[in-house]
Structure 1
Amino acid sequence: MRINSAMILAAGLGTRMRPITETLPKPLVEVAGKPLIAYSLEALDRIGVTSIVANVHYLAPMLTKWLKDWPGAEIAISDETETLLDSGGGIVKALPQLGPYPFLVLNADTFWLEDPDAGSDNLARMADQFDPAIMDIMMMTARLDQATGHTGAGDFTIDPEGRLARYRGSGDPVIYAGALVLSPHIFDAISEPKFSLNRCFDAAIESGRLFGAPMLGHWLTVGTPAAIGEAEAAMSAYLNGSASSTGHRPNR
Protein backbone atom coordinates (compact mmCIF):
# COMPACT_ATOMS: atom_id res chain seq x y z
CA MET A 1 0.00 0.00 0.00
CA ARG A 2 1.01 3.60 -0.46
CA ILE A 3 2.41 5.23 2.72
CA ASN A 4 2.16 9.02 2.66
CA SER A 5 3.29 10.08 6.14
CA ALA A 6 5.91 9.27 8.74
CA MET A 7 6.87 10.06 12.32
CA ILE A 8 10.49 10.33 13.44
CA LEU A 9 11.01 9.77 17.17
CA ALA A 10 13.64 12.38 18.00
CA ALA A 11 12.82 13.50 21.54
CA GLY A 12 15.17 11.25 23.51
CA LEU A 13 17.65 12.61 26.04
CA GLY A 14 20.72 10.77 24.74
CA THR A 15 22.25 10.49 28.21
CA ARG A 16 24.57 7.62 27.26
CA MET A 17 26.08 9.80 24.53
CA ARG A 18 27.44 12.36 26.99
CA PRO A 19 29.56 14.48 26.93
CA ILE A 20 28.66 15.02 23.25
CA THR A 21 24.98 15.44 24.09
CA GLU A 22 25.62 18.01 26.78
CA THR A 23 25.51 20.59 23.98
CA LEU A 24 23.96 18.64 21.08
CA PRO A 25 20.73 16.62 20.79
CA LYS A 26 21.47 12.99 19.98
CA PRO A 27 19.75 13.03 16.55
CA LEU A 28 22.34 15.62 15.46
CA VAL A 29 25.36 13.56 16.55
CA GLU A 30 27.35 12.83 13.40
CA VAL A 31 28.35 9.39 12.17
CA ALA A 32 30.43 9.25 9.00
CA GLY A 33 30.01 13.00 8.56
CA LYS A 34 26.22 13.00 8.74
CA PRO A 35 23.75 13.62 11.62
CA LEU A 36 21.99 10.46 12.72
CA ILE A 37 18.54 11.82 11.86
CA ALA A 38 19.64 12.58 8.30
CA TYR A 39 19.83 8.86 7.56
CA SER A 40 16.12 8.49 8.44
CA LEU A 41 15.14 11.53 6.40
CA GLU A 42 17.07 10.26 3.38
CA ALA A 43 15.39 6.84 3.69
CA LEU A 44 11.97 8.53 3.63
CA ASP A 45 12.98 10.72 0.71
CA ARG A 46 13.98 7.66 -1.33
CA ILE A 47 10.43 6.28 -1.15
CA GLY A 48 8.73 9.63 -1.69
CA VAL A 49 7.32 10.29 1.79
CA THR A 50 7.03 14.05 2.14
CA SER A 51 4.60 14.42 5.09
CA ILE A 52 6.90 14.02 8.09
CA VAL A 53 6.51 14.81 11.79
CA ALA A 54 9.38 14.81 14.29
CA ASN A 55 8.97 15.18 18.03
CA VAL A 56 11.44 17.28 20.02
CA HIS A 57 12.25 17.69 23.71
CA TYR A 58 15.90 17.93 24.72
CA LEU A 59 17.67 20.98 23.25
CA ALA A 60 14.53 21.40 21.18
CA PRO A 61 15.36 24.80 19.60
CA MET A 62 18.60 23.45 18.12
CA LEU A 63 16.95 20.38 16.65
CA THR A 64 13.92 22.34 15.44
CA LYS A 65 16.13 24.82 13.58
CA TRP A 66 18.07 21.99 11.93
CA LEU A 67 14.84 20.31 10.83
CA LYS A 68 13.43 23.56 9.48
CA ASP A 69 16.58 23.97 7.39
CA TRP A 70 16.39 20.43 5.98
CA PRO A 71 16.42 20.79 2.18
CA GLY A 72 13.99 17.94 1.50
CA ALA A 73 10.46 17.59 2.81
CA GLU A 74 8.90 20.17 5.09
CA ILE A 75 8.97 18.63 8.57
CA ALA A 76 6.27 19.39 11.11
CA ILE A 77 7.33 19.63 14.75
CA SER A 78 5.54 17.93 17.63
CA ASP A 79 6.76 19.84 20.68
CA GLU A 80 7.31 17.79 23.84
CA THR A 81 9.49 20.40 25.54
CA GLU A 82 7.19 20.60 28.55
CA THR A 83 6.67 16.86 29.03
CA LEU A 84 8.45 13.90 27.46
CA LEU A 85 5.73 11.41 26.45
CA ASP A 86 7.75 8.24 25.67
CA SER A 87 7.57 6.48 22.31
CA GLY A 88 3.85 5.68 22.26
CA GLY A 89 2.63 8.89 23.83
CA GLY A 90 4.77 10.92 21.48
CA ILE A 91 3.09 9.33 18.47
CA VAL A 92 -0.40 9.86 19.88
CA LYS A 93 0.32 13.56 20.41
CA ALA A 94 1.32 13.81 16.73
CA LEU A 95 -1.66 11.84 15.33
CA PRO A 96 -3.56 14.97 14.18
CA GLN A 97 -0.55 15.79 12.00
CA LEU A 98 -0.11 12.24 10.72
CA GLY A 99 -3.63 11.54 9.49
CA PRO A 100 -5.98 8.54 9.80
CA TYR A 101 -4.16 6.07 7.56
CA PRO A 102 -1.20 3.72 8.28
CA PHE A 103 2.11 5.54 8.56
CA LEU A 104 5.80 4.88 9.12
CA VAL A 105 7.62 5.38 12.42
CA LEU A 106 11.41 5.67 12.49
CA ASN A 107 13.87 6.06 15.35
CA ALA A 108 16.09 9.12 14.90
CA ASP A 109 19.14 7.46 16.46
CA THR A 110 19.36 4.20 14.50
CA PHE A 111 19.86 3.67 10.78
CA TRP A 112 20.77 1.10 8.19
CA LEU A 113 22.65 0.65 4.94
CA GLU A 114 20.67 -0.77 2.07
CA ASP A 115 21.63 -3.97 0.24
CA PRO A 116 22.56 -2.96 -3.32
CA ASP A 117 21.30 -6.28 -4.67
CA ALA A 118 17.86 -6.06 -3.05
CA GLY A 119 16.13 -4.27 -5.91
CA SER A 120 14.18 -1.96 -3.59
CA ASP A 121 14.65 -0.19 -0.27
CA ASN A 122 13.57 -1.75 3.01
CA LEU A 123 10.89 0.88 3.65
CA ALA A 124 9.42 0.40 0.18
CA ARG A 125 9.13 -3.33 0.77
CA MET A 126 7.49 -2.75 4.16
CA ALA A 127 4.91 -0.45 2.61
CA ASP A 128 4.19 -3.00 -0.13
CA GLN A 129 3.83 -5.87 2.37
CA PHE A 130 1.73 -4.10 5.00
CA ASP A 131 -1.82 -5.48 5.01
CA PRO A 132 -4.14 -3.67 7.44
CA ALA A 133 -6.66 -6.51 7.17
CA ILE A 134 -4.37 -8.85 9.12
CA MET A 135 -1.72 -6.52 10.60
CA ASP A 136 -1.70 -3.77 13.18
CA ILE A 137 2.07 -3.27 13.11
CA MET A 138 4.83 -4.34 10.74
CA MET A 139 8.29 -4.06 12.25
CA MET A 140 11.59 -4.06 10.41
CA THR A 141 13.81 -6.70 11.99
CA ALA A 142 17.50 -7.52 11.75
CA ARG A 143 19.45 -10.64 12.58
CA LEU A 144 22.23 -10.28 15.13
CA ASP A 145 24.84 -10.78 12.41
CA GLN A 146 23.36 -7.83 10.48
CA ALA A 147 23.81 -5.39 13.36
CA THR A 148 26.53 -3.16 14.76
CA GLY A 149 26.22 -1.60 18.23
CA HIS A 150 23.46 -3.87 19.52
CA THR A 151 23.89 -5.42 22.95
CA GLY A 152 21.70 -8.16 24.29
CA ALA A 153 20.33 -11.45 23.08
CA GLY A 154 17.60 -10.16 20.76
CA ASP A 155 14.02 -8.88 20.95
CA PHE A 156 11.66 -11.16 19.00
CA THR A 157 11.31 -14.40 17.10
CA ILE A 158 9.55 -14.63 13.76
CA ASP A 159 7.43 -17.57 12.59
CA PRO A 160 7.14 -18.88 9.00
CA GLU A 161 4.11 -16.63 8.35
CA GLY A 162 6.00 -13.55 9.56
CA ARG A 163 4.29 -13.11 12.94
CA LEU A 164 6.47 -11.94 15.80
CA ALA A 165 6.64 -13.11 19.42
CA ARG A 166 8.86 -11.94 22.25
CA TYR A 167 12.20 -13.74 22.38
CA ARG A 168 12.25 -15.95 25.48
CA GLY A 169 15.59 -17.69 25.05
CA SER A 170 14.69 -20.25 22.40
CA GLY A 171 14.55 -19.93 18.63
CA ASP A 172 16.50 -17.54 16.44
CA PRO A 173 16.29 -13.98 17.84
CA VAL A 174 15.86 -10.86 15.75
CA ILE A 175 16.28 -7.19 16.67
CA TYR A 176 13.70 -4.42 16.38
CA ALA A 177 15.51 -2.37 13.75
CA GLY A 178 13.92 1.01 14.44
CA ALA A 179 11.29 1.18 11.67
CA LEU A 180 7.55 0.40 11.76
CA VAL A 181 4.42 0.65 9.69
CA LEU A 182 1.38 0.89 11.96
CA SER A 183 -2.32 1.57 11.87
CA PRO A 184 -3.31 4.47 14.15
CA HIS A 185 -6.31 2.56 15.54
CA ILE A 186 -3.90 0.63 17.81
CA PHE A 187 -3.99 3.66 20.11
CA ASP A 188 -7.78 3.84 20.40
CA ALA A 189 -8.03 2.05 23.75
CA ILE A 190 -5.14 3.89 25.41
CA SER A 191 -6.01 6.94 27.47
CA GLU A 192 -2.73 7.63 29.28
CA PRO A 193 -0.73 10.47 27.73
CA LYS A 194 2.65 8.82 28.39
CA PHE A 195 3.40 5.20 27.46
CA SER A 196 5.85 3.01 25.57
CA LEU A 197 5.28 1.43 22.17
CA ASN A 198 6.11 -1.87 23.85
CA ARG A 199 2.55 -1.84 25.15
CA CYS A 200 1.28 -1.79 21.57
CA PHE A 201 3.73 -4.50 20.51
CA ASP A 202 2.46 -6.81 23.24
CA ALA A 203 -1.19 -6.14 22.35
CA ALA A 204 -0.49 -6.87 18.69
CA ILE A 205 1.35 -10.08 19.60
CA GLU A 206 -1.62 -11.22 21.69
CA SER A 207 -3.97 -10.72 18.75
CA GLY A 208 -1.55 -12.20 16.21
CA ARG A 209 -1.23 -8.89 14.38
CA LEU A 210 2.45 -7.98 14.89
CA PHE A 211 4.46 -8.94 11.81
CA GLY A 212 8.15 -8.73 10.99
CA ALA A 213 9.82 -7.49 7.82
CA PRO A 214 13.36 -8.91 7.74
CA MET A 215 15.67 -6.18 6.52
CA LEU A 216 18.24 -6.53 3.77
CA GLY A 217 21.48 -4.69 4.46
CA HIS A 218 23.25 -3.69 7.67
CA TRP A 219 21.73 -2.01 10.74
CA LEU A 220 23.56 0.30 13.15
CA THR A 221 22.83 1.78 16.53
CA VAL A 222 25.17 4.26 18.17
CA GLY A 223 24.64 4.52 21.92
CA THR A 224 27.89 5.98 23.25
CA PRO A 225 30.72 8.23 21.98
CA ALA A 226 32.98 5.19 21.70
CA ALA A 227 30.44 3.49 19.46
CA ILE A 228 30.77 6.18 16.77
CA GLY A 229 34.12 4.84 15.60
CA GLU A 230 32.82 1.27 15.71
CA ALA A 231 29.86 2.24 13.54
CA GLU A 232 32.02 4.10 11.04
CA ALA A 233 34.38 1.12 10.74
CA ALA A 234 31.44 -1.23 10.20
CA MET A 235 29.98 1.09 7.57
CA SER A 236 33.26 1.25 5.70
CA ALA A 237 33.65 -2.52 5.81
CA TYR A 238 30.10 -3.10 4.59
CA LEU A 239 30.26 -0.50 1.83
CA ASN A 240 33.67 -1.61 0.61
CA GLY A 241 32.65 -5.25 0.73
CA SER A 242 29.48 -4.54 -1.20
CA ALA A 243 31.34 -2.47 -3.77
CA SER A 244 33.98 -5.13 -4.36
CA SER A 245 31.43 -7.92 -4.71
CA THR A 246 28.80 -6.09 -6.77
CA GLY A 247 30.70 -3.34 -8.53
CA HIS A 248 28.72 -0.55 -6.88
CA ARG A 249 27.94 0.82 -3.45
CA PRO A 250 24.62 0.69 -1.61
CA ASN A 251 22.59 3.84 -1.00
CA ARG A 252 23.59 5.75 2.12
Structure 2
Amino acid sequence: MTLPILFFAAGLGTRMGALTRDRPKPLINVAGKALIDHALDIADDADVGRKVVNLHYHGDMIRQHLADRNFAFSDEGGMLLETGGGLRKALPLLQGNPVLTINTDAVWQGPNPIQQILSAWHPDMEALLLVVEKQNVVGHLGNGDFELGTDGRLHRAPGSIYTGLQIMRTDVLDEITETAFSMNLAWDKIAARSGLFGVRYDGTWCDVGQPESIPLAEEMLHV
Protein backbone atom coordinates (compact mmCIF):
# COMPACT_ATOMS: atom_id res chain seq x y z
CA MET A 1 0.00 0.00 0.00
CA THR A 2 1.35 3.39 -1.03
CA LEU A 3 -0.01 6.47 0.73
CA PRO A 4 0.69 10.20 0.36
CA ILE A 5 2.48 11.81 3.28
CA LEU A 6 2.40 15.24 4.91
CA PHE A 7 5.49 16.45 6.76
CA PHE A 8 4.51 18.95 9.46
CA ALA A 9 7.07 21.76 9.28
CA ALA A 10 5.04 24.90 9.97
CA GLY A 11 5.47 25.29 13.74
CA LEU A 12 7.16 28.24 15.43
CA GLY A 13 9.59 26.11 17.45
CA THR A 14 9.41 28.44 20.45
CA ARG A 15 10.69 25.81 22.91
CA MET A 16 13.98 25.79 21.00
CA GLY A 17 14.69 29.35 22.14
CA ALA A 18 17.60 31.04 20.38
CA LEU A 19 18.07 28.10 18.01
CA THR A 20 14.94 29.10 16.08
CA ARG A 21 15.56 32.84 16.13
CA ASP A 22 16.74 32.80 12.52
CA ARG A 23 15.61 29.41 11.23
CA PRO A 24 12.65 27.02 11.47
CA LYS A 25 12.93 24.07 13.83
CA PRO A 26 13.00 21.48 11.00
CA LEU A 27 16.34 22.94 9.86
CA ILE A 28 18.09 22.58 13.23
CA ASN A 29 21.08 20.28 12.87
CA VAL A 30 21.01 16.95 14.71
CA ALA A 31 23.71 14.32 14.14
CA GLY A 32 25.07 16.06 11.07
CA LYS A 33 21.85 16.82 9.21
CA ALA A 34 18.68 18.87 9.49
CA LEU A 35 15.85 17.46 11.57
CA ILE A 36 13.54 17.35 8.56
CA ASP A 37 16.07 15.22 6.70
CA HIS A 38 15.80 12.52 9.34
CA ALA A 39 12.07 12.30 8.57
CA LEU A 40 12.69 12.41 4.82
CA ASP A 41 15.18 9.54 5.04
CA ILE A 42 12.56 7.40 6.77
CA ALA A 43 10.06 8.17 4.02
CA ASP A 44 12.59 7.50 1.27
CA ASP A 45 13.18 4.02 2.70
CA ALA A 46 9.46 3.26 2.94
CA ASP A 47 6.65 2.81 0.42
CA VAL A 48 5.14 6.30 0.30
CA GLY A 49 3.55 8.25 -2.49
CA ARG A 50 3.14 12.00 -2.99
CA LYS A 51 5.14 14.09 -0.49
CA VAL A 52 3.84 17.40 0.86
CA VAL A 53 5.44 19.78 3.38
CA ASN A 54 3.46 22.48 5.15
CA LEU A 55 5.17 25.84 5.73
CA HIS A 56 4.77 28.92 7.92
CA TYR A 57 7.70 30.18 10.01
CA HIS A 58 10.72 30.83 7.74
CA GLY A 59 8.98 28.76 5.10
CA ASP A 60 11.22 30.16 2.38
CA MET A 61 14.21 28.51 4.04
CA ILE A 62 12.51 25.11 3.95
CA ARG A 63 11.57 25.61 0.29
CA GLN A 64 15.19 26.36 -0.51
CA HIS A 65 16.43 23.38 1.52
CA LEU A 66 14.16 21.05 -0.47
CA ALA A 67 14.50 22.80 -3.83
CA ASP A 68 16.15 19.84 -5.55
CA ARG A 69 13.61 17.28 -4.32
CA ASN A 70 10.14 16.41 -5.58
CA PHE A 71 7.85 18.02 -3.00
CA ALA A 72 4.62 19.96 -3.00
CA PHE A 73 4.33 22.80 -0.48
CA SER A 74 1.24 23.77 1.50
CA ASP A 75 1.86 27.40 2.46
CA GLU A 76 0.32 28.58 5.73
CA GLY A 77 2.10 31.94 5.59
CA GLY A 78 -1.13 33.86 6.09
CA MET A 79 -2.25 31.96 9.19
CA LEU A 80 -0.81 29.12 11.25
CA LEU A 81 -3.47 26.40 11.11
CA GLU A 82 -2.14 23.91 13.72
CA THR A 83 -1.92 20.23 12.84
CA GLY A 84 -5.56 19.50 12.03
CA GLY A 85 -6.15 22.66 10.04
CA GLY A 86 -2.80 22.21 8.34
CA LEU A 87 -3.71 18.72 7.19
CA ARG A 88 -7.08 19.89 5.86
CA LYS A 89 -5.44 22.70 3.87
CA ALA A 90 -2.94 20.22 2.38
CA LEU A 91 -5.57 17.70 1.20
CA PRO A 92 -5.80 18.97 -2.40
CA LEU A 93 -2.03 18.51 -2.70
CA LEU A 94 -1.97 15.09 -1.02
CA GLN A 95 -4.55 13.72 -3.46
CA GLY A 96 -5.38 10.66 -1.40
CA ASN A 97 -7.34 9.20 1.50
CA PRO A 98 -6.13 7.83 3.89
CA VAL A 99 -2.90 9.76 4.36
CA LEU A 100 0.26 9.53 6.41
CA THR A 101 1.39 12.46 8.53
CA ILE A 102 4.71 12.79 10.33
CA ASN A 103 6.19 15.42 12.64
CA THR A 104 9.65 16.68 11.74
CA ASP A 105 11.00 17.20 15.27
CA ALA A 106 11.93 13.64 16.24
CA VAL A 107 14.55 11.02 15.44
CA TRP A 108 14.26 7.26 15.45
CA GLN A 109 16.55 4.31 16.15
CA GLY A 110 15.36 0.90 15.05
CA PRO A 111 13.03 -0.43 12.37
CA ASN A 112 11.57 1.99 9.84
CA PRO A 113 8.51 3.44 11.60
CA ILE A 114 6.62 4.18 8.39
CA GLN A 115 7.04 0.60 7.22
CA GLN A 116 5.84 -0.62 10.62
CA ILE A 117 2.69 1.51 10.65
CA LEU A 118 1.87 0.64 7.04
CA SER A 119 2.15 -3.05 7.90
CA ALA A 120 -0.27 -2.60 10.82
CA TRP A 121 -2.91 -0.60 8.92
CA HIS A 122 -6.27 -2.26 8.33
CA PRO A 123 -9.11 -0.87 6.17
CA ASP A 124 -11.52 -1.02 9.13
CA MET A 125 -9.45 1.59 10.98
CA GLU A 126 -10.25 5.29 10.83
CA ALA A 127 -6.92 6.34 12.32
CA LEU A 128 -3.79 4.46 13.39
CA LEU A 129 -1.20 6.18 15.57
CA LEU A 130 2.32 4.93 16.17
CA VAL A 131 3.00 5.09 19.91
CA VAL A 132 6.03 4.20 22.01
CA GLU A 133 6.42 3.06 25.60
CA LYS A 134 8.18 5.35 28.10
CA GLN A 135 11.16 3.03 28.54
CA ASN A 136 11.93 3.47 24.82
CA VAL A 137 11.66 7.28 24.84
CA VAL A 138 14.41 9.90 25.03
CA GLY A 139 13.95 13.63 25.55
CA HIS A 140 10.18 13.65 26.13
CA LEU A 141 8.90 15.51 29.20
CA GLY A 142 5.24 14.42 29.24
CA ASN A 143 3.41 11.66 31.09
CA GLY A 144 2.09 9.92 28.00
CA ASP A 145 -0.93 10.41 25.78
CA PHE A 146 -2.86 7.17 25.36
CA GLU A 147 -3.60 3.79 26.82
CA LEU A 148 -3.41 1.02 24.22
CA GLY A 149 -6.12 -1.58 24.81
CA THR A 150 -5.86 -5.29 24.14
CA ASP A 151 -8.13 -4.74 21.12
CA GLY A 152 -5.62 -2.28 19.65
CA ARG A 153 -7.80 0.78 20.31
CA LEU A 154 -6.47 3.92 21.94
CA HIS A 155 -8.03 5.68 24.91
CA ARG A 156 -7.00 8.97 26.51
CA ALA A 157 -4.85 8.23 29.56
CA PRO A 158 -1.25 8.64 30.74
CA GLY A 159 0.76 5.80 29.24
CA SER A 160 2.00 5.35 25.69
CA ILE A 161 3.47 8.40 23.95
CA TYR A 162 2.43 9.50 20.47
CA THR A 163 5.46 9.58 18.18
CA GLY A 164 4.10 12.07 15.66
CA LEU A 165 3.41 9.46 12.96
CA GLN A 166 -0.06 8.36 11.93
CA ILE A 167 -2.30 7.09 9.17
CA MET A 168 -5.70 8.77 9.08
CA ARG A 169 -8.81 8.76 6.95
CA THR A 170 -9.47 12.43 6.34
CA ASP A 171 -13.29 12.39 6.17
CA VAL A 172 -13.44 13.43 9.83
CA LEU A 173 -12.00 16.82 8.92
CA ASP A 174 -15.29 17.69 7.21
CA GLU A 175 -16.99 17.47 10.62
CA ILE A 176 -14.88 20.27 12.12
CA THR A 177 -15.89 23.90 11.65
CA GLU A 178 -12.81 25.60 13.08
CA THR A 179 -10.18 26.91 10.66
CA ALA A 180 -7.17 26.34 12.93
CA PHE A 181 -7.38 23.28 15.18
CA SER A 182 -5.28 20.53 16.70
CA MET A 183 -5.31 16.97 15.44
CA ASN A 184 -6.55 16.08 18.92
CA LEU A 185 -10.00 17.36 18.00
CA ALA A 186 -10.19 14.89 15.10
CA TRP A 187 -8.81 12.04 17.21
CA ASP A 188 -11.43 12.61 19.92
CA LYS A 189 -14.22 12.40 17.36
CA ILE A 190 -12.72 9.21 15.92
CA ALA A 191 -12.19 7.66 19.36
CA ALA A 192 -15.82 8.36 20.29
CA ARG A 193 -16.89 5.97 17.53
CA SER A 194 -14.17 3.41 18.38
CA GLY A 195 -12.11 4.10 15.25
CA LEU A 196 -8.86 5.22 16.88
CA PHE A 197 -6.17 2.53 16.94
CA GLY A 198 -2.53 2.35 17.96
CA VAL A 199 0.54 0.24 17.31
CA ARG A 200 3.71 0.21 19.42
CA TYR A 201 6.99 1.21 17.83
CA ASP A 202 9.62 -1.53 18.13
CA GLY A 203 12.63 0.80 18.48
CA THR A 204 13.60 3.93 20.41
CA TRP A 205 12.39 7.46 19.73
CA CYS A 206 13.62 10.91 20.72
CA ASP A 207 11.44 14.01 20.89
CA VAL A 208 13.76 16.84 19.82
CA GLY A 209 11.53 19.57 21.20
CA GLN A 210 14.02 21.56 23.27
CA PRO A 211 17.76 22.28 23.01
CA GLU A 212 18.58 19.80 25.77
CA SER A 213 17.21 16.98 23.61
CA ILE A 214 19.76 17.44 20.82
CA PRO A 215 22.71 15.74 22.58
CA LEU A 216 20.32 13.05 23.83
CA ALA A 217 19.20 12.39 20.26
CA GLU A 218 22.78 12.23 19.03
CA GLU A 219 23.71 9.83 21.81
CA MET A 220 20.72 7.64 20.91
CA LEU A 221 21.89 7.62 17.29
CA HIS A 222 25.41 6.71 18.46
CA VAL A 223 26.97 9.80 16.88
Question: Above 0.5 in TM-score?
Answer: yes
Equivalence for 1:75: 71
Aligned partners of 1:231, 1:190: CA distance in 2, in Å?
A: 36
CA RMSD in angstroms, aligned pairs only: 1.4
Aligned partners of 2:96, 2:213: CA distance in 1, in Å?
A: 38
Output aligned runs, 1:74-223, within 5 Å. Answer: 74-115=70-111, 121-133=112-124, 135-167=125-157, 173-223=159-209
- The secondary structure found in structure 1 opposite 2:162 is strand
Equivalence for 1:56: 55
Aligned partners of 2:28, 2:10: CA distance in 1, in Å?
A: 14
Give the residue type in structure 2 aligned to 1:209.
G
Residue 101 of structure 1: how far off its partner (Å) = 1.9
Aligned partners of 1:14, 1:27: CA distance in 2, in Å?
A: 9
Equivalence for 1:3: 2
Q: Which runs of 5+ in 2 are unaligned?
A: none
Q: Is the 8 A contact 1:3 1:104 kept in 2?
A: no
- The secondary structure found in structure 2 opposite 1:11 is coil
Residue 50 of structure 1: how far off its partner (Å) = 4.0
Q: Which runs of 5+ in 1 are unaligned?
A: 116-120, 240-252
Q: Is the 8 A contact 1:3 1:102 kept in 2?
A: no
Residue 186 of structure 1: how far off its partner (Å) = 1.6
Give deviations 1:58-91, integer Å, cap 9, x for gaps: 0111111112234xxx110000111000000000
Deviates more, 1:61-70 or 1:25-34: 61-70
Moved >3 Å (runs of 4+): none
Output aligned runs, 1:30-41, within 5 Å. Answer: 30-41=29-40
- The secondary structure found in structure 2 opposite 1:188 is helix
Residue 137 of structure 1: how far off its partner (Å) = 0.6
What is the TM-score of this pair, normalised by structure 1? 0.85
Q: How many residues align?
A: 223
- The secondary structure found in structure 1 opposite 2:39 is helix
Change (3 A) 1:141 1:46: same
What is the TM-score of this pair, normalised by structure 2? 0.95
Asked if 1:226 is matched to 2:212, the reply is yes
Aligned partners of 1:111, 1:199: CA distance in 2, in Å?
A: 25
Deviates more, 1:219-228 or 1:54-63: 219-228
- Could you say which structure has the larger radius of gyration? 1
Deviates more, 1:223-232 or 1:175-184: 223-232
Q: Is the 8 A contact 2:4 2:96 kept in 1?
A: no
